[in-house]
């Protein structure tokens, strides 16, 4: 192409501008010659082209010349394309507390270590802690996460700037007596946050209401939260039945299980994500299934804090939508969803002595399509025409992935987070070949050091 060619079309300004558009602002991408695990059906498509226009996957298969026009072509030969992973339960700012307190009882961990530091946290800590966690997530293939924490404007700012997708909620813990909670600080912060951020950043950020747990919120407080959530049409994010102590205390105090308690308080009338559900009964699982409540399974955290092993195979059988999550990095101690996929496919087999439980594909579904159901987006968690362009690319040319007998098994049992070579959210490349495109690694590193020095 020479300037002479351009001169031949002096009136076609649009085409010239398109042709000169710098790569950085491409809004059209073709992943060329990829192996594709759509998760829409369970098949693998070989040598497939995927077209992304703006924030949407607009075509899959062989593309025509018009479709190919003006797109940045990404060579995906020998690579696997799949939907980005959805982390169904996280406290991303706690990444700042990674490897800070381990191998101790829940009481010692929480009251002697986590709570005292959390009291000192400021907006800056939340912002940098979140950016650090988001870096880890996008480098390991996570494109969306469901989070509950504090200082939510700072967390939302990190999400907005980084380009990742998230459902965010301010965790609410009971302080006042009630029954009137109209002056409750946390509830009012939640309302303000929801109004400001729900639907922000091209819809990448959505809000939820988060009563922390039944042991930190009184029934009256939970009712007040539910009624406000109903007023705004907001979903709910809550911890549920994480430990045997919570389960037994609830039976003693309310004469029913934690799940039944939340059901009776009307929580499940709103779209709900319930994290953990380690001790739910069969009846509880039916309540969750009937009310379309998502149960988020957090295997690393439940093992590490010795909460137990959630009855995931039974819950799936009953029809509960089970998503996967990492929980916070202070009880994991990472935000690597491929590790959770691996654990979910391993531990239930071992604990129940049944090698047929939780297949590789079931575990991958929990981390993709079931996560999309959790967040209420049917155009997420799959690669199909019209779906959001939340896509990850995996380099299969690694000794630990050879030979490629079965891609699905490889993803559940062999892959390493570092095999992710590209992460795209909402049609924007956030991470490619080890480089962060929207986050300044040095700035985050420096910010984390400053926060760390003040806090510890």
Residues 326-385 that bind its own copies (CB under 8 A): 329, 332-336, 339, 342-343, 345-347, 349-357, 359-360
448 binds its own copies (CB under 8 A): yes
- Select the span of 91-99, 143-151, 212-220, 287-295 touching its own copies (CB under 8 A): 91-99
- Select the span of 57-65, 75-83, 208-216, 393-401 touching its own copies (CB under 8 A): 393-401
Q: Which is nearer to its own copies, 117 or 200 (CB)?
A: 117
425 binds its own copies (CB under 8 A): no
CB of 439 to its own copies, least distance (A): 9
441 binds its own copies (CB under 8 A): yes
- Select the span of 69-77, 213-221, 266-274, 403-411 touching its own copies (CB under 8 A): 403-411
Q: Which is nearer to its own copies, 7 or 405 (CB)?
A: 405
For residue 278, give the nearest of 210, 219, 337, 351 by alpha carbon.
Answer: 351
Q: Which of 109, 197, 209, 268 is the binder for its own copies (CB under 8 A)?
A: 109
416 binds its own copies (CB under 8 A): yes
> HEC string of the chain?
CCHHHHHCCCCCHHHHHHHHCCHHHCCEEEEEEEEEECCCCCCEEEEEEEEEECCEEEEEECCCHHHHCCCEEEECCCEEEEECEEEEEECHHHHHHCCCCCCCCHHHHHHHHHHHHHHHCCHHHHHHHHHHHHHHHHHCCEEEEEEEECCHHHHHHHHHHHCCEEEEEEEECCCCCCCCCCCCHHHHHHHHHHHHHCCECCCCEEECEEECCCCCCCHHHHHHHHHHHHHHCCCEEEEECCCHHHHHHHHHHHCCCHHHHHHHCCHHHCCEEEEECCCCCHHHHHHHHHCCCEEEECHHHHHHCCCCCCCHHHHHHHCCEEEECCCCHHHCCCCCHHHHHHHHHHHHHHHHCCCCCCCHHHHHHHCCHHHHHHHCCCCCCCCCCCCECCEEEEECCCHHHCCCCCHHHHHHHHCCHHHEEEEEECCEEEEECCEECCCCHHHHHHHHHHHHHHHC
Q: Which is nearer to its own copies, 229 or 360 (CB)?
A: 360
- Select the span of 1-9, 164-172, 288-296, 411-419 touching its own copies (CB under 8 A): 411-419
Q: Which is nearer to its own copies, 130 or 198 (CB)?
A: 130
395 binds its own copies (CB under 8 A): no
CB 360 within 8 A of CB 413: yes
Between the CA of residue 456 and those of 22, 120, 147, 425, what are the distances in Å? 45, 10, 25, 35
Q: Which of 106, 110, 173, 200 is the binder for its own copies (CB under 8 A)?
A: 106
Q: Which is nearer to its own copies, 231 or 400 (CB)?
A: 400
Q: Which of 105, 175, 185, 317 is the binder for its own copies (CB under 8 A)?
A: 105
Residues numbered 132 to 161 that lie near its own copies (CB under 8 A) are 132, 135-136, 139-140
403 binds its own copies (CB under 8 A): yes
CA quadruple 136, 139, 140, 145: dihedral sign? positive
Q: Which is nearer to its own copies, 59 or 117 (CB)?
A: 117
117 binds its own copies (CB under 8 A): no
- Select the span of 14-22, 180-188, 207-215, 443-451 touching its own copies (CB under 8 A): 443-451
CB of 342 to its own copies, least distance (A): 8
Q: Which of 405, 426, 430, 454 is the binder for its own copies (CB under 8 A)?
A: 405
220 binds its own copies (CB under 8 A): no
Residue 185 CB-density burial (10 A; 0-12 exposed, 13-18 middle, 19+ buried) = exposed
44 binds its own copies (CB under 8 A): no
CB of 136 to its own copies, least distance (A): 4
Q: Which is nearer to its own copies, 258 or 427 (CB)?
A: 258
CB of 254 to its own copies, least distance (A): 23
CB of 445 to its own copies, least distance (A): 7
As a whole number of angstroms, the distance between CA 281 and CA 312 comes to 11
Residues numbered 256 to 315 that lie near its own copies (CB under 8 A) are 300, 302-309
């Amino acid at each position: 192409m020479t300037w002479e060619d351009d001169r031949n079309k002096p009136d076609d300004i649009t085409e010239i501008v398109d042709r000169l558009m710098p790569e950085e602002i491409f809004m059209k991408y073709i992943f060329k010659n990829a192996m594709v695990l759509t998760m829409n059906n369970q098949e693998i498509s070989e040598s497939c082209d995927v077209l992304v226009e703006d924030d949407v996957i607009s075509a899959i298969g062989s593309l025509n010349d018009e479709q190919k026009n003006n797109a940045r072509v990404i060579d995906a030969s020998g690579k696997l394309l799949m939907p980005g992973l959805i982390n169904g339960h996280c406290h991303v700012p706690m990444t700042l507390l990674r490897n800070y307190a381990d191998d101790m009882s829940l009481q010692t961990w929480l009251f002697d270590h986590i709570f005292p530091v959390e009291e000192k946290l400021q907006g800056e800590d939340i912002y940098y802690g979140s950016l650090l966690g988001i870096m880890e997530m996008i480098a390991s293939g996570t494109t969306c996460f469901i989070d509950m924490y504090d200082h939510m404007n700072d967390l939302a700012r990190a999400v907005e700037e980084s380009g990742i997708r998230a459902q965010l909620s301010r965790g609410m813990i009971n302080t006042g007596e009630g029954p009137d909670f109209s002056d409750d600080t946390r509830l009012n912060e939640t309302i303000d946050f929801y109004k400001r951020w729900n639907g922000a950043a091209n819809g990448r950020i959505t809000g939820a209401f988060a009563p922390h747990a039944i042991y930190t919120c009184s029934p009256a407080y939970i009712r007040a939260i539910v009624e406000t959530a109903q007023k705004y049409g907001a979903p709910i994010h809550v911890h549920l039945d994480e430990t045997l102590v919570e389960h037994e205390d609830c039976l003693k105090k309310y004469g029913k299980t934690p799940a039944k308690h939340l059901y009776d308080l009307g929580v499940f009338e709103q779209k709900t994500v319930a994290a953990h559900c380690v001790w739910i009964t069969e009846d509880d699982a039916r309540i969750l299934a009937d009310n379309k409540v998502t149960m988020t399974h957090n295997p690393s955290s439940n093992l590490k804090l010795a909460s137990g092993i959630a009855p995931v195979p039974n819950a799936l059988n009953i029809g509960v939508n089970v998503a996967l999550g990492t929980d916070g990095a202070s009880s994991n101690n990472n935000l690597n969803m491929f590790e959770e996929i691996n654990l979910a496919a391993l531990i239930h087999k071992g604990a129940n002595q049944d090698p047929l439980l939780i297949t590789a594909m079931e575990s991958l579904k929990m981390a993709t399509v079931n996560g999309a159901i959790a967040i209420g987006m049917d155009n997420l968690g799959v690669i199909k025409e019209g779906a959001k362009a939340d896509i990850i690319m995996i380099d299969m040319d690694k000794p630990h992935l050879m030979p490629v007998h079965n891609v699905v098994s490889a993803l559940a049992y062999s892959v390493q987070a570092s095999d992710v070579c590209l992460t795209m959210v909402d049609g924007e490349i956030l991470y490619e070949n080890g480089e962060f495109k929207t986050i300044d690694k040095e700035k985050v590193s420096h910010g984390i050091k400053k926060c760390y020095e003040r806090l510890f």
